[in-house]
Amino acid sequence: MDPNLLTGLLTPGTSKIVFIILDGVGGIQMEEKGGTELQVARKPNLDQLAEVSSCGLLEPVSPGITPGSGPSHFAIFGYDPFQFNIGRGILEATGIDFPLTERDVVARINYATIDKNGKVIDRRAGRISNETNERICRKLQGSLRLSREVEVIIEPVREHRAVLVLRGEGLRGEIEDTDPEREGISPLEPKALIPEAEGTADLVRDFVAQSRKILADESRANMVLLRGFAKHTRYPSMKERYGLNALAIAAYPMYRGISRLVGMTVLSSVSTLADEFKALADHFADYDFFFLHIKQTDSRGEDGNFDGKVAVIEEVDRYLPQVRALKPDVLVVTGDHSTPAKMRSHSWHPLPIILYSQYCLVDPVKKFDEVSCIGGALGKMPSVQLMPLALAHARRLTKFGA
């Protein structure tokens, strides 16, 4: 949908919209477990909500395309994921509120473990502690010396994730990732995607080579993998596009970064599910759009931890009555993409969605899972169409045409 068309239909209101996003919630069946994670989970509150709602499946980007977290979240917020595709580094940097400039090229660092032959044996270095992450960032920062006049800034994010900022004149972000996205092979060479980026790619090669030497004595985080090179730019805010005063409640920095890029107010004081759901209640009177992000479903899926992912879904289910007691005008429960524990990675599979409103078309769906929601009133739709539907159910859109 043309965002200008949507903006022209906006009407002022006081209705409240809540998006509960269980990151990576979608799955596929594991025969030995008896179904998908959602099918196996005991979730009476989510299932009861599905019974009185419109349900369906979301296609994060396009059929067969496995999305990253950036484009899949932009799509949920109604931003075309192809037009607004952004590097992971920018998301991580904004997530920790790092002040970027137009002179910066940014990438996400994954600290990883390589063996004596240079093969990646753990892309996440055993999910090292935040304290270890900070120590290694300081170690690199104090030892790196690049070959030309460029400032190097390394900032810790969380666990194995950090941010690399190259600050200088004439830098370009069109550089391939060095993360091979799987184990058992060597990190990739940082290659320029356009001739103008060749000088920056040389700097990145120098950074990677020096980092490997500096970290050689580390037992786990002895290599850097780089993802999502990009330069900073401004994006239209949710206030500008939808007239919404939006609040993001997210424990992980990257999702706070996505939220900042689209103009949300971001809470940085939450760390547990209990914190997040309490924050929703505490701030419910102050905003009219709420993005509540649950990271653990994705983490457990990436770890191949089927039972752990089930446990997170069940924990979220226990908090759902607190959300419904707030009486939001629109309540959406879904994810950004699928992360099946069977695959231990993001996947292309569509994921289920519940959309509740007093104006929704209640369908026959009785359970919140991938198979049940196939028969829902929303059908299968691109994630980018979710925001217009939420606005309509919140009575925030007027009639189109005479």
**Does an H or E element contain 292, and which?**
strand 289-294
The CA-based dihedral angle spanning residues 292, 295, 296, 302, taken in that order and rounded to the nearest 10 degrees: 150
Can you read off the two tokens belonging to residue 279?
A: 């924050």
| Whole-number pLDDT of residue 158 | 85
Model pTM? 0.78
DSSP reduced 3-state for 267: strand
Q: How far, in Å, are 26, 99, 344 from residue 341 at the CA level? A: 9, 36, 5
Residues 6+ apart with CB under 8 A from 43: 313, 314, 316, 317, 368
Kindly list the structural domains of the chain, giving each domain's residue range(s) and its CATH number in brackets, ordered by start.
3-86+235-393 (3.40.720.10), 100-231 (no CATH)
Quote the DSSP letter at residue 175: B
Per-residue confidence in pLDDT tens, the chain, 402 aa: 666 778 889 999 999 999 999 999 999 999 999 999 999 999 999 999 999 999 999 999 999 999 988 889 999 999 998 887 777 788 788 878 888 888 899 999 999 999 999 999 999 988 989 999 999 999 999 999 887 789 999 999 988 999 999 999 889 999 999 999 889 999 999 999 999 999 999 999 999 999 999 999 998 999 999 998 988 777 889 999 999 999 999 998 888 888 988 999 998 789 899 999 999 999 999 999 999 999 999 999 999 999 999 999 999 999 999 999 999 999 999 999 999 999 999 999 999 999 999 999 999 999 999 999 999 999 999 999 999 999 999 999 999 887
| Whole-number pLDDT of residue 223 | 95
Residues 6+ apart with CB under 8 A from 135: none
CA–CA gap between residue 74 and residue 384 (Å, rounded): 8
CA–CA gap between residue 302 and residue 3 (Å, rounded): 34
CA–CA gap between residue 48 and residue 134 (Å, rounded): 44
CA–CA gap between residue 321 and residue 270 (Å, rounded): 20
Can you read off the two tokens belonging to residue 353?
A: 């969605």
| Whole-number pLDDT of residue 1 | 64
CA–CA gap between residue 350 and residue 59 (Å, rounded): 5
Q: How far, in Å, are 7, 108, 225, 241 from residue 178 at the CA level? A: 40, 10, 6, 35
Tokens 């890029």 map to which residue?
A: 261
